[in-house]
């Protein structure tokens, strides 16, 4: 190798700064994905962004059943909203916090969710097990609510009938509808949305 100097060539400051910036951005992106960051806001096929006016609640967020400034809550059928609020008060007395992850949805939000489910599940038939079209969804009529966290789902599964609230589908522990009178007995949940 002779007496040749093998030191690396000097790198310019700008190149180093760009390289460090790129690495920092990549690390941030990796951290966001690893942390389970929420998916982007749904967009209709014609490019319209769907927002809170459509009842959209970002993944991971929960609304208070008393937050009637939010259309997802305020557009619920009155009897359902009252039942959920009453159940929320009773659950809170037992240390359980009930939050709404989805309530009323506009037809265009429901269609976007249905279209997304078709892509995720590979067929219209399979998607219908989890998301109904706007014409069939009780969310669009304001007659269904999805709740969280798990202890709220469990509490409503056991005590919801005291308020007329019942788990509707066996494959959706979070989905409740007003399907019995207060203090009545809930019917057995359907296997999924296609059974109804």
Classify 8 in phi/psi space as left (phi over 0), alpha (psi -120 to 50) or beta.
Answer: beta
What is the pLDDT, as a whole number, of residue 14?
A: 37
What is the pLDDT, as a whole number, of residue 177?
A: 98
Coil vs helix vs strand at 161: helix
Residue 69 CA: distances (Å) to CA of 55, 162, 177 = 11, 27, 21
Q: What is the CATH number of domain 52-195?
A: 3.30.1380.10
What is the pLDDT, as a whole number, of residue 56?
A: 95
What is the pLDDT, as a whole number, of residue 175?
A: 97
What is the pLDDT, as a whole number, of residue 170?
A: 95
Dist CA 173 CA 180 (whole Å)? 18
Strands 99-102 and 144-148: antiparallel
What is the pLDDT, as a whole number, of residue 48?
A: 72
Q: Give residue limits of the domains in the chain.
A: 9-38, 52-195
Closest alpha carbon to 180 in 162, 154, 196, 158: 162
What is the pLDDT, as a whole number, of residue 45?
A: 63
User: pTM for this structure?
Assistant: 0.77
Residues of the chain falling short of pLDDT 70: 1-46, 196
What is the pLDDT, as a whole number, of residue 87?
A: 98
What is the pLDDT, as a whole number, of residue 35?
A: 38
């Amino acid at each position: 190798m002779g007496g040749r100097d093998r030191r690396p060539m000097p790198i310019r400051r700008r190149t180093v700064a760009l390289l460090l910036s790129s690495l920092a951005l990549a690390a941030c992106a990796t951290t966001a994905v690893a942390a389970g960051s929420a998916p982007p806001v749904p967009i209709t096929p014609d490019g319209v962004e769907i927002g809170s006016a459509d009842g959209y609640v970002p993944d991971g967020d929960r609304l208070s059943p008393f937050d009637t400034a939010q259309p997802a809550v305020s557009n619920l059928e009155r009897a359902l909203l009252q039942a959920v609020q009453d159940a929320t008060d009773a659950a809170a007395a037992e240390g359980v916090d009930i939050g709404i992850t989805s309530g009323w949805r506009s037809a265009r939000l429901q269609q976007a969710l249905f279209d997304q489910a078709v892509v995720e599940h590979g067929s219209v038939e399979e998607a219908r097990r989890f998301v109904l079209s706007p014409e069939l969804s009780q969310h669009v009529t304001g007659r269904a609510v999805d709740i969280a966290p798990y202890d709220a789902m469990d509490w409503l599964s056991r005590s919801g009938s005291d308020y007329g609230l019942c788990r509707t589908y066996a494959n959706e522990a979070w989905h409740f509808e007003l399907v019995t009178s207060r203090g009545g007995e809930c019917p057995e949940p359907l296997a999924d949305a296609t059974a109804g």
